[in-house]
Amino acid sequence: MAIVTILATVIFTWALLEYSPESPANYIFAQISPSALAGQRAEQIYASLEQYLQTLKPHGNPIIEALSYLWNFLHGNMGVSIIYEEPVTKLIANALPWTLFIVVTSVVISFIIGVRIGEKMGYKRGTKTDSILTMTFITIRSIPVYILGTIFLFFLGYILGIFPTGGAYSVNVTPGFNLPFVISVLRHAVLPITTLTLINLAGWALHMRANTIYTLGEDYVNFAETRGVMDKIIESKYVGRNSMLPLYTSLIITLGFSFGGSIFVEEIFSYPGVGLLLYNSVMNNDYPVEMGILVIIVFAVVIGMLLADLTYSLLDPRVKVGE
């Protein structure tokens, strides 16, 4: 099913973008100087541009072309970017490490902290601390990520000048495994990671709180309390572990979507990841890059869900495959 899903999605995505009425013509026109569009020269440019755009459109049997794209995709060939004029695989390969660095880091940190806080909130449900934290996390969760990122960028970047306002590292450092470069990369990643961590942490905490409250009503928890099992053991082994199981699949799916980056965060902080690459491609209708990134996201999510299905029974022995 995973293989069929990936192949079907690749073909479907190709058809949607390849036969879209949009084209990169606007970007190409913008690169032409106004003086070049005067007189007879304009007619030549328009004719050349029209001929070039025709080469970008699909020709012939769409089934053959879809299978051709699928064949090239399986061999690592996703075409050439219209805007950047470079292979799509090269563009994604250059941007993907930066995206995985900030997104995966924020997801892991927020998951570990959020699960722990949510467990405490659920176990202490109804208390003043639980009410305050619940309102706080609901408020944070309600703030759009681009608003939160803009606030951090404005105050911590422009006003206070504590952190850089864009890029992945400073231009005056030499890229490589050296201390100045590592420090520069970490400083540039603080604001994007913090923004994504706060948003994700609120979601994990609220979800874990709800699971914990539900688990506290189970019979095995009541039986453990009746037997006089220590509260600490009930909280960690009986409630915590079972409440976290439903979050496992969500974590895997979130990590899969991380391959697509965070478009708003990367665009706000000018972070050179896949999200910013996708944003620029969409704005300029660079459909080879769009298709490449969307296919990578689908591939990562489907494989992640497959791994979640295969490993869930290892985490919860009660889950068995029936005949």
pLDDT at 139: 93
Q: What mean pLDDT comes out for the span 11-26?
A: 73
> Does residue 132 carry a pLDDT above 90?
yes
pLDDT at 217: 82
The conformation of residue 87, written as its DSSP 8-state character, comes to B
Among candidates 194, 192, 191, 170, which has minimal Cα distance to 182? 170
Q: Between the ranges 40-49, 106-115, 164-173, 220-229, where is the mean pLDDT highest?
A: 106-115
**Higher pLDDT, residue 140 or 40:** 140
pLDDT at 75: 83
> Does residue 189 carry a pLDDT above 50?
yes
Name the pTM for this structure.
0.82
Q: What mean pLDDT comes out for the span 60-89?
A: 82
Task: Report the mean per-residue pLDDT for the chain.
Answer: 83
Residues of each domain in the chain carrying CATH 1.10.3720.10: 92-315
Distance CA 170, CA 203 (A): 33
Terminal-residue alpha carbon distance, the chain: 18
Q: Which fold has domain 92-315?
A: MetI-like fold (1.10.3720)
For residue 323, name the pLDDT band (cuts at 50, 70, 90).
very low
Least confident of 95-99, 134-138, 206-210, 303-307: 303-307
Interacting residues of 78 by C-beta distance below 8 A, sequence separation 6+: 72, 87, 88, 89, 92, 288, 291, 292, 295
Distance CA 15, CA 8 (A): 11
Distance CA 78, CA 93 (A): 12
Distance CA 286, CA 87 (A): 12
pLDDT at 255: 86
Least confident of 44-58, 172-186, 275-289: 44-58
Least confident of 13-27, 95-109, 153-167, 231-245: 13-27
> Does residue 16 carry a pLDDT above 60?
yes
> Does residue 191 carry a pLDDT above 90?
yes
> Does residue 270 carry a pLDDT above 60?
yes
The fraction of the chain above a pLDDT of 70, given in percent, is 86
The fraction of the chain above a pLDDT of 90, given in percent, is 29
**Higher pLDDT, residue 316 or 7:** 7
> Does residue 190 carry a pLDDT above 90?
yes
Distance CA 141, CA 201 (A): 9
Q: What mean pLDDT comes out for the span 245-253?
A: 85
